[in-house]
């Protein structure tokens, strides 16, 4: 009986630890301001990390194609990103289907 109780306790602890990881935010600790245009062209989506939330600094979080981890960019990169994405969108519209 003791082995079963121990096993149940271990299982419950494992479940509690793995489910609580979803509640821990993944924050950028530092940012880069010199992001290459090639990387910006491959951004699939982006989001702003605000400093007033659970994270300490404001950052532009870039999810780049073929990158395993997001790139943490300085918020000053946002206008450059928007310009490059606009050009990329215009180029995609001009291509014949």
* Tens digits of pLDDT across the chain (97 residues): 577 777 767 766 666 655 544 556 689 999 999 999 999 999 999 999 998 768 889 999 999 999 999 999 999 999 999 999 899 888 888 877 6
Give which of 53, 83, 85, 58 is closest to 72, Cα–Cα. 58
Name, in order, each residue with C-beta under 8 angstroms of 53's C-beta and a sequence gap of 6 or more: 25
Residue 51 confidence (pLDDT)? 84
Q: Which long-range contacts (CB under 8 A, 24 or more apart) does 85-91 make?
A: 85/40, 85/43, 88/41
Structure tokens that stand for 29 in this block: 């600790």
pTM: 0.69
In order of their start, the domains of the chain are 26-94 (2.40.50.40)
């Amino acid at each position: 009986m003791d082995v079963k109780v121990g096993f149940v306790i271990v299982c419950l602890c494992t479940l509690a630890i793995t489910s609580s990881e979803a509640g821990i935010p993944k924050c950028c600790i530092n940012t880069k301001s010199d992001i290459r245009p090639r990387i910006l062209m491959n951004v699939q989506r982006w989001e702003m990390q605000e400093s007033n939330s659970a994270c300490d600094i404001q950052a532009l979080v870039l999810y780049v194609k073929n990158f395993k981890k997001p790139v943490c960019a300085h918020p000053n990169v946002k206008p450059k990103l928007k310009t490059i994405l606009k050009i990329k969108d215009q180029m995609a519209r001009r291509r014949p289907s």
